[in-house]
Structure 1
Amino acid sequence: MEINELTEPERRVWEAFPRGAAVDLTGAPEREIRARVLRSLLLTAPTEDGEIAGLRLLGARVTGELDLQYGLIPCAVTLWDCDFERTPRLYGAEFRQLNLSKSRLPALWAATLRVDGVLRLTDCRIPGPVALAGARIAGALFMDRAVLGTESDGSQEWRDRAGRALQLDHATIGDDLWGPHLTVFGKARLDGATVTGVVQLDSARFHHPSDTALDAETLAVGTDLHAMRMRVEGRLNLRGATIPGQLNLAFARLANPGGVALRASGCTAGEFWMREAAPVEGALNLRRARFDLLHIAPEVWPGEVRTDGLTYTALAPVLPAADRLALPLRDPDGYVPYAYEQLTASYRRIGDDAAARTVQLAKQRRHRTTLPLYGRLWGHLQDVTVGYGFRPMRAAGWLLGLLLLGALVYGLHHPRPLKADEAPAFNALAYSLDLLLPIVDFGQERAYTPAGAYQWLSYLLIAAGWILATTFVAGVNRAVNRP
């Protein structure tokens, strides 16, 4: 392109480029810059000796289509607070650094983009799709306060368009993904993406009701994913994500009524925080997820929570077992033994064996509901008498009650001696102890034998004694030798 074809604003940009000087057209009477002028400038890259070339353009209106597909741009590019008439096409292009902060674009086609430094979309307004799938960004990606997509108008056209509001799937970011206060209307895709540093989404909003709002399946994060006060209207998908540090959803609000609000099955994170989050609206899927710390209060759990295979080392805040027992009951798969075992293990790690026994008792009671009638009846008997062995003092109480019953009955109705001349003097209390306690022998049981109904009472005391005594000993031994 010949220099004499340029308008006055374009001439200023062309002359400033070799020195990397800024051209500010904000509020200027003439602020239009043709996209083909920028394309020619960036691809020819005129230079001056001793200067570092670069495009620094502020407040311009870029007309036409900026097509840099597969282009190699050897300098830093800043198009700050610019209005783009048409969608820039940067597919497969390579930049030293690209800054589009505060700009307004119809859309952005930049799949497989390469940036040696930082890509900035801070404060951008982009109603159409932002395609960065497969991008390779050596530095950080900044999208703080950007607004992507348009609010729902309920039409099918909006749904089709919203299905690709942000595409970062399989992208590689060498530093942080920075998006505080980011707003996305439509689906945001980060599945298969790799972020070496932090994913920062504090106060971000993802809006795609009745569909997936943020799809971060198999996302790999180098350190933490911070999303405090984040709002997700639609499904948040973290299936298979790997976050070695903290997954922080404190004060967040997840809402997908009638569907899955959070899918984190197979997710691995050091710590998962939902401290003081709003109650989740929709189902929660944590199957086969693994966390060192799971920080979530009981009131945050929704009515449906899938927990089969959920593994955690510690559970916070530390609460009585009764406050945590509602969680295993919310699994739509029914009785999930693993959920009770994990809860038991978390209490044992902090030394609260009483709470651990409470959870195990609840597990047996829940299991009882899955048994046939005879199993349920036997379970009720075990529960009432000895609390399935987790209430040993209840067994001691039954033993004492049966001992007093035997002493009273046999004290009023002495059994006859087997050999009157050799039998010791009858003692109702010692005789009842002989019947009840398997390892006790006061010589009374061998010397006397009851008859009729009193003989059946002796059988009852013997059988009950075996069951209750062994249960009591096992319970005490479990308390003393707690794992």
Structure 2
Amino acid sequence: MAQDDPPEGWSPQERQMWEAYRVGEWCEEVAEVRGSALRHLLIAAPSSRPGCQARLRLRGAHVTGELDLAEVTVTGSIRLDRCRFDDVPRLDNAHLDAAFQLISCTMPGLSMVGARVTLECEVTACTVTGTVDLRSLTAGNWLSLKDTAVRPAPGEAAIDAQSVDVGEDLLAPGLVCTGPVFLNSARIQDALAFRGTCIGGDAGCLQAPALTVGGGLYLDSGFSGSGQINLYGASIGGSVNMSDCQLDGPGPGAGAYTLNLACAEIGGDLQAERGLEVRGPIDLRDTAVRGSVVLKGARFDISASSPTADAALNASRLRVGGDIDCRGGFVAHGMIDMRDSRIGGSVLFDGAELNSLDNRHPALRGNGVETGGVFNLRDGFTAHGRISLNSVTVRSRVSLDDAVIDTSADEWAMSFDGSSASSLSLRLREAPAGLVVLQHSRIGLLRDTPTAWPAGLVLDGAVYDSLHPTLPAEARLPWLRRDPAGFVPQPYEQLAATYQRQGRDADARTLLVAKQRSMRRTLSPVARLWSLLQDATVGYGYRPLRAVWLLLCLLTTGTALFTAWPPTTVGDGEAPPFQAAIYTLDLLLPLVDLGQEGSYAPTGIMQWGAVALIGTGWLLATTVAAGASRVLRRA
């Protein structure tokens, strides 16, 4: 037998395949070939015909027996189209110097563990009733699983591609798997595309922790997954696109996330412009996104996972270079948790609807968030549950214009405790029944509307530079009196200081007097009496003209009385001429001697009048001094 002749005992169809290989043409009229014949052809390959490229192109053949190419080196390309295999083709640790393609083939599985394909590796539009095992596969160009259906036995993996290394793209649009896909520690130089892919089954969905993708990751265009998608610690050089994507979680259970992107690095955007629906919790903790997180129109729901799941989206310690955009009809049934996140751009929940499923968790928890842009919860934003924004730092404005916070009266609606913003707008669509907490916050401009003032408002320690609208002090007093703790002095002082900066001294004094009157209810009976006296006489030092008018009234009264019933001279010395007005003034002014009080003494009932004038003078002087001291301390 010559070296380029087929072996003895081969069937005419196998001899035909041998000759087609030597000229590199398709062999299409072969109904059946043995797997051992294919192996012999590829190992002991005949030389090509002059001017031809030797390669295997086989279409429509039934391959009987096992095709075993394990640890084999093949120089030419392999293309098998619409072939049917009785046994699992095995190419473990094979070295294929050209392309390897299985197109529209049917097989009970495929094993390419540790194989090396110099060019593209393609399993397209195939039907596989077992596992496609690609562990540690190396593909020099792209790896394609396009339109392939993989239906393994229950409990088995559909595709096991752990530690694969792909020189260009891994493409799997239209892939259908009834078992999980494993891409643990896989490395894809360019894009990883699962567009229109359906992955599901009892054993899970996509497991790809420590995945490395140089380009983008595409779970879009009708992608659907049942079970967990685990991308923990993944490194994605481009964007992650999840538009028109539906994910069904693994169900109740601690740590059972539908999408786990915790500790991941994303070089572009995390994008879902439309159609993202996730049933089950999402984990974005400690993830870094260089671009923006765009979740316009997305719908998150953990109602089937409660009470084991705390949040529909757990994005605590998330770092985003751009915006978090949850506009366009975003809906979440379950808490949105953004604690301690760092956002370079803005946080946008305009028109979104957030629903807390129980009283244990708020609808939105953003404690410790820092953002360089705006934090918008406006334009129809609705929260069925609390909003917690404690210790937040917002470089620009926080806006709740036309927002609704739906809580019961026995819980707080919004907390902005210890936070700072250049502007805070609380012009809500309707007044919240719950408590709004602004204590210890620092705000440049505070905007609100009287028709939407909350039933309870905590302002203790809040500092703001200006307030809009600038209502008269009397109109603002009900706003200050909404603290459920009762009287708290600092909010009065803060609002008075704001009026003073605006040049509205009369309003400032009105606020300070109101503060003293409110404080009076907290004092002991004696202190309360002293407070009443200060209020009546000098308005706690903020109404000094009252003391002048009271002094004039007492002077006039005393002058009239002592003119009608003058006192008698005291002693043997020569007394100055009696002047009723000066004598009255000498009695009223303590520590002042005008020479009349020591020279004359009232008689009869006028002695009691003199005592009343002296006592009134001391009280007047003391209250004036106390009020002046209070005013000077403020100055």
TM-score by length of 1: 0.84
Which residue of structure 1 lines up, in the alignment, with residue 363 of structure 2? 213
The DSSP-based 3-state class of the residue aligned with 2:405 is strand
How far did residue 226 of structure 1 move? 1.8
Cα displacement string for residues 130-171 of structure 1 (whole angstroms, at most 9, x for unaligned residues): 111111111111011111116x6xxxx664156221110111
For residue 290 of structure 1, the aligned residue among 442, 454, 457 is: 442
For residue 335 of structure 2, the aligned residue among 164, 170, 187 is: 187
Q: Distance in 1 between matches of 2:585 and 2:229?
A: 93
Residues 101 and 423 of structure 1, relative CA distance in 2, 3 Å threshold? same
Residues 90 and 19 of structure 1, relative CA distance in 2, 3 Å threshold? closer
Which residue of structure 2 lines up, in the alignment, with residue 458 of structure 1? 610
Asked if structure 2 preserves the Cα contact closer than 8 Å seen for 1:198 and 1:225, the reply is yes
Structure with greater helix share of residues: 1
How far did residue 328 of structure 1 move? 3.9
Q: Distance in 1 between matches of 2:427 and 2:543?
A: 34
1:81 has 2:221 as partner: yes
For residue 241 of structure 1, the aligned residue among 392, 396, 399 is: 392
The DSSP-based 3-state class of the residue aligned with 1:325 is helix
How far did residue 424 of structure 1 move? 5.3
Q: Distance in 2 between matches of 1:72 and 1:142?
A: 22
**After alignment, is 341-350 or 451-460 more displaced?**
451-460
For residue 414 of structure 2, the aligned residue among 256, 259, 262 is: 262
Which residue of structure 2 lines up, in the alignment, with residue 412 of structure 1? 564
CA RMSD across the alignment: 3.5
Q: Distance in 1 between matches of 2:283 and 2:634?
A: 56
Residue type matched to 1:468 in 2?
A: L
Residues 470 and 277 of structure 1, relative CA distance in 2, 3 Å threshold? farther
Residue type matched to 2:332 in 1?
A: V
1:342 has 2:476 as partner: no
How far did residue 343 of structure 1 move? 1.8
The DSSP-based 3-state class of the residue aligned with 2:354 is strand
Which residue of structure 2 lines up, in the alignment, with residue 90 of structure 1? 231
Which residue of structure 2 lines up, in the alignment, with residue 50 of structure 1? none
Residues 421 and 55 of structure 1, relative CA distance in 2, 3 Å threshold? closer
Cα displacement string for residues 74-117 of structure 1 (whole angstroms, at most 9, x for unaligned residues): 22233333141324222221212211112111132222222111
The DSSP-based 3-state class of the residue aligned with 1:343 is helix
1:104 has 2:255 as partner: no
Alignment of 1:15-414 (within 5 A): 33-34=176-177, 43=186, 45=188, 54=191, 59-63=196-200, 65-86=205-226, 87-95=228-236, 96-106=238-248, 107-123=258-274, 124-149=276-301, 159-160=306-307, 163-180=310-327, 181-208=329-356, 210=359, 211-229=361-379, 230-257=381-408, 258-414=410-566
Asked if structure 2 preserves the Cα contact closer than 8 Å seen for 1:236 and 1:262, the reply is yes
The DSSP-based 3-state class of the residue aligned with 2:218 is strand
Residue type matched to 1:143 in 2?
A: L
How far did residue 404 of structure 1 move? 2.4
Residues 352 and 82 of structure 1, relative CA distance in 2, 3 Å threshold? same
Residues 18 and 8 of structure 1, relative CA distance in 2, 3 Å threshold? farther
Q: Distance in 2 between matches of 1:389 and 1:459?
A: 25
Asked if structure 2 preserves the Cα contact closer than 8 Å seen for 1:268 and 1:289, the reply is yes
Q: Distance in 2 between matches of 1:351 and 1:439?
A: 37
Q: Distance in 2 between matches of 1:394 and 1:44?
A: 85
Residue type matched to 1:131 in 2?
A: D
Q: Distance in 2 between matches of 1:267 and 1:371?
A: 33
Cα displacement string for residues 40-64 of structure 1 (whole angstroms, at most 9, x for unaligned residues): 7x95758xxxxxx545665554456
Q: Distance in 2 between matches of 1:311 and 1:480?
A: 22
Residues 172 and 480 of structure 1, relative CA distance in 2, 3 Å threshold? closer
Asked if structure 1 preserves the Cα contact closer than 8 Å seen for 2:387 and 2:413, the reply is yes
Q: Greater RCO between the two (CA within 8 Å, min separation 6)?
A: 1
Cα displacement string for residues 211-258 of structure 1 (whole angstroms, at most 9, x for unaligned residues): 311111111112321222322111111111111221122222223212
Residues 308 and 479 of structure 1, relative CA distance in 2, 3 Å threshold? closer
Asked if structure 1 preserves the Cα contact closer than 8 Å seen for 2:418 and 2:440, the reply is yes
Q: Distance in 2 between matches of 1:481 and 1:384?
A: 21
How far did residue 478 of structure 1 move? 9.0
Asked if structure 2 preserves the Cα contact closer than 8 Å seen for 1:344 and 1:356, the reply is yes
Q: Distance in 2 between matches of 1:330 and 1:441?
A: 51
Asked if structure 1 preserves the Cα contact closer than 8 Å seen for 2:400 and 2:428, the reply is no
Which residue of structure 1 lines up, in the alignment, with residue 115 of structure 2? none
How far did residue 121 of structure 1 move? 2.3
Asked if structure 2 preserves the Cα contact closer than 8 Å seen for 1:129 and 1:161, the reply is no
Residue type matched to 1:391 in 2?
A: R
Asked if structure 2 preserves the Cα contact closer than 8 Å seen for 1:193 and 1:220, the reply is yes
Residue type matched to 1:378 in 2?
A: W
How far did residue 313 of structure 1 move? 2.2
Which residue of structure 1 lines up, in the alignment, with residue 64 of structure 2? none
Residue type matched to 2:125 in 1?
A: E
How far did residue 195 of structure 1 move? 0.8
The DSSP-based 3-state class of the residue aligned with 1:302 is coil
Cα displacement string for residues 287-329 of structure 1 (whole angstroms, at most 9, x for unaligned residues): 2222222222344333333333222222222111122223443
Q: Distance in 1 between matches of 2:223 and 2:419?
A: 41
Asked if structure 2 preserves the Cα contact closer than 8 Å seen for 1:272 and 1:291, the reply is yes
Residues 256 and 159 of structure 1, relative CA distance in 2, 3 Å threshold? farther
The DSSP-based 3-state class of the residue aligned with 1:361 is helix
TM-score by length of 2: 0.65
Residue type matched to 2:288 in 1?
A: R
Which residue of structure 2 lines up, in the alignment, with residue 432 of structure 1? 584
Residues 373 and 264 of structure 1, relative CA distance in 2, 3 Å threshold? same
Q: Distance in 1 between matches of 2:208 and 2:313?
A: 20
Asked if structure 1 preserves the Cα contact closer than 8 Å seen for 2:314 and 2:338, the reply is yes
Structure 1 unmatched runs, 5+: 26-30, 47-52
**After alignment, is 414-423 or 169-178 more displaced?**
414-423
Asked if structure 2 preserves the Cα contact closer than 8 Å seen for 1:392 and 1:471, the reply is no
Residue type matched to 1:126 in 2?
A: V
How far did residue 345 of structure 1 move? 1.5
Q: Distance in 2 between matches of 1:466 and 1:197?
A: 64
Residue type matched to 2:363 in 1?
A: A
Q: Which has the larger radius of gyration?
A: 2
Asked if structure 1 preserves the Cα contact closer than 8 Å seen for 2:460 and 2:488, the reply is yes
Cα displacement string for residues 332-383 of structure 1 (whole angstroms, at most 9, x for unaligned residues): 3333222222122111211212112112112212222222111112212222
Which residue of structure 1 lines up, in the alignment, with residue 125 of structure 2? 8
